A and B are shown apart, each in its own frame.
Chain A
Amino acid sequence: MENKKRYNLKEVMSRPERLTPGHRMCAGCGGTIAVRAVLRALHEGDHAVIGNATGCLEVSSFMYPYTAYTDSYIHNAFENAGATMSGVETAYNRLREKGKIKDNFKFITFGGDGGTYDIGFQSLSGSMERGHDFVYVCYDNGAYMNTGIQRSSATPMYADTTTTPVGKESNGKIQYRKDLAAIIAEHKVPYVAQTTFLSNFKDLHTKAEKAIYTPGPAFLNIMAPCPRGWRYETSEIMNICKLAVETCYWPLFEVVDGKWQLSYEPKNKLPIEDFLKPQGRFKHLFKTGNEDLIVKFQEEVDRRWEDLQFRCSQE
């Protein structure tokens, strides 16, 4: 770690903006809040190559001839963001060795949960296993939003999506979500973290900086709410993120060289209803007769939270 300075919001916000406005993401999108926050963690003077899986972010942030990135950027396809950056990073090593490149470059790839948890999972796993020095950032909005809110393996249980629609015979998605951060941690890479947007962004910033400046592969899982898919007022995003953390639906943690650490433990863990209630995709759970569904959701949140606490208590 080069930068041990205390986090200072005024200092980091004064850095040159690396995501330019004029991209076509929806008003209130969580995806670009995540991208901006991660890119702010790059040290001034360091160059970067930004990678991107196909998805909302890609089709909106590089519409020919408008790129929203002040750094170099490569989008290849949906399922290969990990492999593509493997090639870029390897080229960098080779060209530096040959003396053709002198400057410092960092490599950061963004993918939504579709491109990361699902179609790009193999490519991500391969690139992590091979030890390329780059960061893979998943902006997890819990469904295939670009194609119109279809379920993914990151979609929470009971969510109403266009491929798990709520109906007379259906209460939404049947399965709980895949724990991708844990799966990547089991690749025994040097750095894995889970975070979201909270007040002054210290948690996200610190984790992004560690991810970028830890040699070797790193994975960041950032919950990035989607107002269209989750069905809440665009202005409410910070509240939704806070409730996700306070209910332990989205715990904040790091896995540093295999050691699990909780970043935050709520003093009073809030009931899961508090997270579900403001979101239209869970509206059906609050109908009379569906009380048991919320109980089941709570049980799964509790089980996973205890499991995480156990991992984090191990020396």
Chain B
Amino acid sequence: MATDISKITEKSPWQDLTEGNKIFAGGTSKYFHTGEWRTNTPVLDKEKCTQCLLCTPVCPDSCIPVKNGEREDFDLDHCKGCGICASACPFNAISMKEGK
């Protein structure tokens, strides 16, 4: 049976923690929003974007989803604003704006 991590919080009694702190599920980190950390935000200029996808493998936070060979908008719930994608874009289609 998969673990429902919404039932595990820093206020949970000991009986509610999983045995041996094991988690019986995958990818639960998505429920933690690291986008809060961001001080600069990437902005995509869709006109300039050629869908070359060179911005996608360089993201340390898996925040540029790709569907059927095309990139979608940034996952700003998780993007930490490192700016690697903006530097990697050969077409200057990504700019970093200050703030969230």
Genuine A/B complex: yes
A32 to B78, CA, bound (A): 14
Segment at the interface with B among A11-19, A125-133, A154-162:
A11-19
Query: Across the interface, which residues of A come within 8 angstroms of B38, CB to CB?
Result: 27
Closest to B90 in A: A199
> Interface size (A, Cβ < 8 Å)?
48
Contact (Cβ within 8 A) B26 A33: no
B5 → A minimal CB distance (Å):
4
Interface string of A12-49 (1 = CB under 8 A from B): 01100101111111111111110011001000000000
Contact (Cβ within 8 A) A19 B62: yes
Contact (Cβ within 8 A) A61 B29: yes
A9 to B71, CA, bound (A): 12
B35 → A minimal CB distance (Å):
9
Tell whether A28 pairs with B18 under 8 Å between CB atoms, given A21-B61, A66-B5.
no
Tell whether A33 pairs with B58 under 8 Å between CB atoms, given A66-B31, A67-B29, A234-B82.
yes
Contact (Cβ within 8 A) B5 A239: no
Segment at the interface with B among A68-76, A78-86, A163-171, A243-251:
A68-76
A154 → B minimal CB distance (Å):
20
Chain B residues touching A, range: 35 or more
Tell whether A37 pairs with B57 under 8 Å between CB atoms, given A17-B62, A67-B23.
yes
Contact (Cβ within 8 A) B54 A10: no
Contact (Cβ within 8 A) A70 B18: no
Contact (Cβ within 8 A) A33 B59: yes
Contact (Cβ within 8 A) A20 B30: yes
A235 contacts the other chain (CB 8 A): yes
A272 to B88, CA, bound (A): 23
Contact (Cβ within 8 A) B88 A238: yes
Within 8 A of A (CB), among B49-92: 52-54, 56-63, 65-69, 71, 75, 77-78, 80-84, 86-88
A235 to B53, CA, bound (A): 17
B1 contacts the other chain (CB 8 A): no
Contact (Cβ within 8 A) A238 B53: no
A64 contacts the other chain (CB 8 A): yes
Contact (Cβ within 8 A) A14 B82: no
Query: Across the interface, which residues of A come within 8 angstroms of B86, CB to CB?
Result: 235
Query: Across the interface, which residues of A come within 8 angstroms of B18, CB to CB?
Result: 65
Contact (Cβ within 8 A) B88 A65: no
Closest to A17 in B: B62
Binding site for A on B (CB under 8 A): 3, 5, 8, 18, 21, 23, 25-34, 37-38, 52-54, 56-63, 65-69, 71, 75, 77-78, 80-84, 86-88, 96
Known pairs A33-B84, A236-B87, A238-B88 / 8 extra A-B pairs, C-beta < 8 Å = A14-B67, A20-B30, A23-B29, A28-B60, A32-B62, A66-B28, A200-B53, A235-B87
Binding site for B on A (CB under 8 A): 9-11, 13-14, 17, 19-33, 36-37, 40, 61-72, 197, 199-201, 227, 233-239
6 A-B residue pairs with Cβ-Cβ distance under 8 Å, sorted by A, are: A9-B57, A27-B81, A40-B57, A65-B3, A68-B27, A71-B26
